[in-house]
Structure formats: C-alpha cells, structure tokens
Structure 1
Amino acid sequence: MSDDEKQIRVLIERWAAAVHAGDIAGTLADHAPDIVMFDVPPPNEGVRGIDAYRDVWPGFFDWQAQGATFDIVSLDIEVGGDVAFAYALVLCGTAEEFARDPARRLRLTLGLRKQQERWIVVHEHHSFPLDLAES
C-alpha cells in the first residue's frame, strides 16, 4: 500500500468515526470548500459547498442517535497522481432495518484531490440499492 493510500485510508476512517460520533467538526475536516455531495435524501441535485454540506448532517446525527449504525465494512482506494477515488460499503441503518434486510449496505464513493501535499474530499456520493421488488 502506498503512502498516499495510507493517508487516504486514515482520512476516511477518521471521517467515518466522526460521523458515527456525531462530530460535525470532524465530519467537515478534510473536505474542500467547494465539495459536491449526492446523498440518499433530497435534494436530488445534491449539495454544493461546505456550508450546504454542513447543513445536511444534523438531521442524520439526530436519526443516528436513535440507535442507527455507521460503520465501514470494506474500503478500496485508487490513487493516480494528485487525484484519487475510494469506494466503500457501510453498515448504515437501524436494528429494525437490518432485521428486514440483513444485507443492507450504504454505498459510498469519495473523490479526492491532493492540494499542498494534503488529501481533501471534493466529491462524496451515498446510495442504497433500489429493491425493484418493493417498487
């Protein structure tokens, strides 16, 4: 594993721990001022900029405080020069959701850029598979 991959892995694991703890400062750390995020809940066009990114987390933290989990199951990282992407599967849900669907996993993709010898997240995408049987 390269030094860049190690740095990115630490960054993502630190971010996930902050999300799990409901730590807004830690969640925002290492994110670009012009971050773009596509999330599970609306708005469908995503959120743009660190202020809009900050605004989506309190509702998630409130939901998570009711007993939901947010734990990385697998994480893969690809680095090419000053850009990288990472993709992960995350246990994200309540006990009731996992009882209904034990295989439930949040899909996470992150795009990163190296600036001034430091990796930052410039794009974040969260999704759940669509169960066509329920549609």
Structure 2
Amino acid sequence: MADDVEQIRALIEEWAAAVHRGDLRTVVAEHAEDIVMFDVPPPYEGLRGMDAYREVWPPFFVWQAEGAEFAVEELEVVAGQDVAFAYALLRCGTPEELAARPGLRLRLTLGLRKEAGRWLIAHEHHSFPCEPGPPPE
C-alpha cells in the first residue's frame, strides 16, 4: 500500500503542477471517463464526464496566466487495494488575493479508483471556506 500512496501523491502533485502551467493534456490525463467534479464556480450540481471536465479548465487557465498561484501545501493520501481518497490544502490565488487573505486555502478532496493497475481520479471536490468574518491571517 505504501507504493500506492506514493503513486497517488505523485499523480496529484503532477496534476497540480499541470494546472499551474495551464497544461490541459496533463490535467485530464489521470482521470476516469466518468469523472464527477464539484467545483467552486457553477454549475452547482457539478460536472459529470470527461467532456465537461475538459471544458471547465481553459477559463481557469486564462485567470492562472495572470500570475495566480496554484500549489499544494498539505496532502494526505489513504489507499486501499482498489480505491483511495486524498485531501489537500492549496495556495490558490493571485498575488493580490493572497496578500489580502494570506491564510486562504483551497480545499481539495479526491476519490480515486484503480483500473487495470492504474490509479485514476474519479471524483474531485474543490472548495473555499465561507467566511462571514474578517479574512484569515
């Protein structure tokens, strides 16, 4: 299982680096065809399927190219024989956004399954905390 955990950690780290680079091919590479993603922006019912998943990234990459950061800070992985989950905190924002809210982190939860000996992301959930009070420090 330790090898599976390391494979999944590497998969997620490479996915995050690809998001930061705006590399769509690598971003979608290790995802199941029936991916379900719940994201911060609409649609509120989430995205289902690879076509919908692929379509959501280009507008994000435009924003990313303005100098935004997308980097894993903390990552935990739990792997079984053929299913796994991971959760992470990421710095995600423009320099101005991160300066104004230095403690803000994107929360990421992933569900994975092993198909033909290969780990694939089957579920992705991105969220930011709802903050009624002052921004985190």
TM class, shorter-length? over 0.9
- d(CA) in 1 for partners of 2:10, 2:122: 16
Secondary structure of 1:123 counterpart: strand
Name structure 2 gaps, 5 residues minimum.
none
Q: Deviations over 1:59-91 (max 9, x none)?
A: 100001011000000100011221000000000
Give the deviation of 1:100 after TM superposition.
1.3
- d(CA) in 2 for partners of 1:39, 1:2: 29
Q: CA RMSD in A?
A: 1.0
Give the deviation of 1:133 after TM superposition.
2.3
Amino acid at match of 2:88: A
Match of 2:38 in 1: 38
Give the deviation of 1:132 after TM superposition.
1.5
- d(CA) in 1 for partners of 2:76, 2:34: 24
Secondary structure of 2:102 counterpart: coil
- d(CA) in 1 for partners of 2:65, 2:111: 28
Detail structure 1 runs of 4+ shifted over 3 Å in the superposition: none
Q: Deviations over 1:36-78 (max 9, x none)?
A: 0000000000000000000000010000101100000010001
Q: Deviations over 1:89-129 (max 9, x none)?
A: 00000111112110010000000000111100000000000
Name structure 1 gaps, 5 residues minimum.
none
1:10-89 mapped onto 2 (5 Å cutoff) = 10-89=10-89
Identity %: 63
Amino acid at match of 2:81: G
Match of 2:119 in 1: 119
Say how many residue pairs are matched: 134
- d(CA) in 1 for partners of 2:19, 2:95: 18
Secondary structure of 2:18 counterpart: helix
Give TM-score, length-normalised by structure 2: 0.95
- d(CA) in 2 for partners of 1:118, 1:60: 27
Secondary structure of 2:130 counterpart: coil
Q: Deviations over 1:11-59 (max 9, x none)?
A: 1111111101000000001100000000000000000000000000001
